[in-house]
Amino acid sequence: MTSRERILAALNHHEPDRVPVDFSGHRSSGIAAVAYPKLRKFLSLPPRPIRVYDVIQQLAIVDEDVLDRIGVDTIELGRGFALDEESWSPWTLPDGTPCFVPSWTPLERDDGRWVIRSKTGRVLGQMPDGVLYFEQTYYPFDERDDLEAISAALGESMWTAVASPPGPIDSQALSEGAKRLREKTDRAIIGLFGGNLFEIGHFLYRNDRFMMLLAAEPQHAHRFLDKLVEIHLANLERFLGAVGEYIDIILFGDDLGMQTGPMISPQMYREFFKPRHELLWSRAKQLADVKIMLHCCGGVRELIPDLIDAGVDAINPVQISCSGMDAGRLKADFGADITFWGGGCDTRDILPGGTPQQVTDNVKEQVSVLSPGGGFVFQQVHNILANVPPANIVAMFDAVNGRSDSRDMP
């Protein structure tokens, strides 16, 4: 099987020739830029320039030699873009390592911190010295909203204003780059769309204020979400019009869970978000032959039946350390109807704090539960963070690929 065939088989609930693997195929399956050169060194691979494509989360582009070594079956659409030196500017990681960031990223030094500014000059996010990631500092609708100015507000929120590759390009360049990537890889291509609803409410209003809006002013919340869906639908038409024939999976996002369970009740999900998710996801499938993946962190077991009913094909990252997210029960109850894209290794405790053998044991247990019958793509639970030992990273991927530590580890 090719990598693309392997991923699609799993998504169609057929057991492929081996467990399909995702690493850096999207912005929640990657690796912190601080950890990446240590991984390369551990693998005895030559040093390469570190390119930080997601500045907010400080994620590195994973080079082809690492993808090949690990046996990765996915690639993000963005890897077909920003391939020239002019697209990158020198910068320095929090640990002092030289790197490059997209040249269009509005980074500035300001009184002991790095800041991200909007086009209007407002500080949207900050990374103080000694901190490893950017945090949002400005919420456009915190004090007063304007439902006719949502598009402008998205340019004033850190999570929606800062572009990763492909970056700020037109539809023709987007289509041409997607076509070139399709022609040179047999990996399954993931197109990152977003289409967030619940989360954009948080990005614009602030978490607490948006939750109060849903509970106390439901009609106003519906009006906000209706206008947001209009924006998403127009963007979806343009995006899939440009890349739909070249991608295999389109990624939507909406973090709905906490460590202890969903942030909202199933009833609230059904009222505010399910019909709008269904509208977006069904339109995506009308526009292109794509599978729908939802990035949705936290304990969301109670919402999974409604997510399936709304049309999702795969859920990520399957946060197994959360309440209700036991892999065996999820597979037994929902494995015939949804693909679990993740849940392959616990990134909260085991990957950063365990021994390589504990990592290996955790991976083998998770794979044995989730892989039978297809409907599973291996990914660690969310990104590999800066403090994860490279030996543990290699142990994780060697375990899923059935390699012997003594034979394959440097």
Q: What is the pLDDT of residues 333-350, one digit of tens each?
A: 999 999 999 999 999 999
Other CB atoms within 10 Å distance of the CB of residue 5: 16
Please state the rounded mean pLDDT for residues 12-37.
97
Closest among 109, 113, 201 to 157, alpha carbons compared:
201
The single-letter code of the amino acid at 367 is: V
Assign 145 to helix, strand or coil.
Answer: coil
Element housing 125 (H / E)? strand 123-128
Confidence of residue 152 (pLDDT cuts 50, 70, 90): very high
- Using one digit for the tens of pLDDT, what is the confidence trace for 29-73? 999 999 999 999 999 999 999 999 999 999 999 999 999 999 999
Model confidence, pTM: 0.96
**Hey, what are 188's tokens?**
């399954």
- Using one digit for the tens of pLDDT, what is the confidence trace for 181-196? 999 999 999 999 999 9
**In percent, how much of the chain has pLDDT > 70?**
98
Cβ atoms 349, 320 nearer than 8 A: no
CATH architecture for segment(s) 3-30+62-84+162-408: Alpha-Beta Barrel (3.20)
CA distance 6 to 21: 9
The single-letter code of the amino acid at 330 is: L
- Using one digit for the tens of pLDDT, what is the confidence trace for 282-294? 999 999 999 999 9
Mean pLDDT in the chain? Answer: 96
Per-residue pLDDT for 407 more than 90?
Answer: no
Could you tell me the residue ranges of all domains in the chain? Answer: 3-30+62-84+162-408
pLDDT for position 402: 87
Per-residue pLDDT for 6 more than 70?
Answer: yes
- Using one digit for the tens of pLDDT, what is the confidence trace for 237-259? 999 999 999 999 999 999 999 99
pLDDT for position 404: 56
Please state the rounded mean pLDDT for residues 149-158.
97
Cβ atoms 319, 382 nearer than 8 A: yes
**Backbone angles phi and psi of 302, in degrees to 5:** -65, -20
Per-residue pLDDT for 408 more than 80?
Answer: no
CA distance 272 to 202: 14
Confidence of residue 406 (pLDDT cuts 50, 70, 90): very low
Other CB atoms within 10 Å distance of the CB of residue 131: 13
Cβ atoms 295, 28 nearer than 8 A: yes
Assign 136 to helix, strand or coil.
Answer: strand
Cβ atoms 348, 381 nearer than 8 A: yes
Q: How far is CA 258 from CA 109, 261, 280, 296, 317, in A?
A: 33, 5, 24, 10, 13
